[in-house]
Amino acid sequence: MIITPKIRGFICTTSHPEGCAAHVQQQIDYVQAQPPLKNPPKRVLVVGASTGYGLASRIVPAFGGGAATLGVFFEKEPTEKKSASAGWYNSAAFEEAAAAAGLYAKSFNGDAFSHEMKKLVIAAIQADLGQIDMIVYSLASPRRVDPDTGEIYKSCLKPTGETFTNKNLNTDKKEIESVTIEPANEDEIAQTVRVMGGEDWKLWIDALADAGVLAEGFKTVAYNYIGPEVTWAIYTDGTIGRAKLHLEKTAEDMNTRFGDKTALVSVNKALVTQASSAIPVVPLYISLLYKVMKSKGLHEGCIEQIQRLFADHYDASNGPTLDDKGRVRIDDWEMRADVQAEVAKVWNEVTTENLDALADFAGYRQEFHRLFGFGLPGIDYDAEVDPQRKIPSIPAPVA
């Protein structure tokens, strides 16, 4: 079949297996072109490992440090007539590349929030690796099923306290418009915290600790975003921000239990990901930010960000450098005063008519397409392609 992008809002319902594989290989090539990691973790578990920062967090220790990796994700498998989700194809390509490089890689497709998934992963660690040195928690989900009660929690993207109105980029119409979002109620805030806070991160660490599969001196990291004041109402001060405060408190509690700098929150740069594309205001901000950072030679994608996290922080002799709230900041280039001053200036000036001149909307759209395997060089998108791809370590479903 010929696979073309079918985009609805911030979702693309198709993905291209060869394009996704090429995208993964580009990231591997980047890592292999950097100096090898000096003190990498050798056994890494990534929860939320199939796209964006999570995928990069699997690629960097594997191809930059020779790590054995386990990846957990929830992706749609392909059929004879329908493409898989991009994360499925990414993971298939990662495992193929890992096998060619002689690296251990095992993947798990299912509900990462469940007790059953944790048991499956622990059994694999016990059988194959004994213990693990690092756990990366990079899960992004709109809902979570409580593993004990079965209750379904749903997250929302809303401000707290007051109604929020600001500019927004309608990416379908390529138009600047105004968006108004009513504030979340207490139940919506609480549910967002249950989905996107640190509760499940803690459950993973507790389960791994109880099973005795955490190596002495293990490290764990989860990801966050802060951004500029223009996004705070919908992000940092909104429902997501409440969840991320819980995430940071969870890290503090883990450090009390396991030791200083065991659990860290890394504040990462704003990038085009499946998660960020869904947040009002953020696509416009990213389009403006890309223009400024590219002009200054500062632009990074997920793989460059995570390479810096490992090389500049986890490889450092004294360990990661932290801010005054105990967080790693690999958003430091984004938050430079000169970068933010220029973005703030054009934010006030941007309209539908001058969007192309002031923003890098073309770059935003290109990155969005690449998430799903489209727009990669060297791929014939007019050619027939078999949508079926296997992830070698995942058993085929029973007929």
Task: Report the DSSP pairing between strands 132-137 and 214-224.
Answer: parallel
- Residue identified by tokens 């450092």 is 316
Closest CA to 103 of 112, 113, 115, 94: 94
* Residues belonging to the chain: 399
What's the Rg (C-alpha) of the chain?
20
**What is the CA 10 to chain-centroid distance, rounded?**
15
Residue 28 · residue 101 · CB < 8 Å: no
**What's the maximum distance between 2 C-alpha atoms anywhere in the chain?**
60
Residue 167's φ and ψ, nearest 5 degrees, are: -70, 150
Choice among 153, 223, 225, 235 that is catalytic:
235
Place of tokens 């999570």: 54
Q: What is the DSSP string of 2-44?
A: -----EETTEES---HHHHHHHHHHHHHHHHTSPPPSS--SEE
Q: What is the DSSP letter of 85?
A: P
Rounded to 5 degrees, φ, ψ at 64 are: -100, -15
Catalytic residue at 235? yes
- What is the number of other CB atoms lying within 10 angstroms of the CB of residue 168? 20
Q: Give the catalytic positions in this structure.
A: 235
